[in-house]
Homo-oligomer: A and B are copies of this chain.
Amino acid sequence: MSEKKTTNIILFSGDYDKAMAAFIIANGAAAYDHEVTIFATFWGLNAFRKDEPVPVKKGFLENMFGKMMPRGAEKMGLSQMNFAGIGPKLIKRVMKKHNALPLGDLISMAQEQDVKLVACTMTMDLLGLQKEELIDGIEYAGVAAYLADAEDGNVNLFI
């Protein structure tokens, strides 16, 4: 077959380090000419939030979730050694020192490489996130779309 290999990543986690891993793998796979999809669901959606507040109308609970969840990739915490927010600062300092790209840049790079970024509409609905609050250039779909991609995928990961 001359078909492209595919990599399909479910980004469930809202941790900065796990999202970094997801986008490093995605960018690597895209560089190796895979068709790559990142399907962000639950807390993973926070990586796709714009970093400034967007005025949208919401219910009380949805508004509260919106306020409590990190607004955008650079505000996410670490899965380990978070130390009340000091961990992410330290990690970013060593990343800068070693010329590693911050998460926001990894996401932009993924978009430039045509990695398909998909926001899970079911959890957007649950967490009260609206399209206006998410970054541009992403798609919106549900679990059926994920499965259609993944069932013929080469590398399927849940992060």
Contacts and interface: CB of A to CB of B under 8 A. Distances in A.
Interface in A1-48: 5, 7, 10, 12-15, 17-18, 21, 24-25, 28-29, 31-32, 34, 41-43
A102 interface: no
Contact of A147 (B91, B144, B148, B155): B155
A15 to B, nearest CB: 8
Contacts of A12: 17-18, 21, 159
Interface residues of A, number: 58
A56 interface: no
A18 B17 CA distance: 17
Nearest to A83: B68
A69 interface: yes
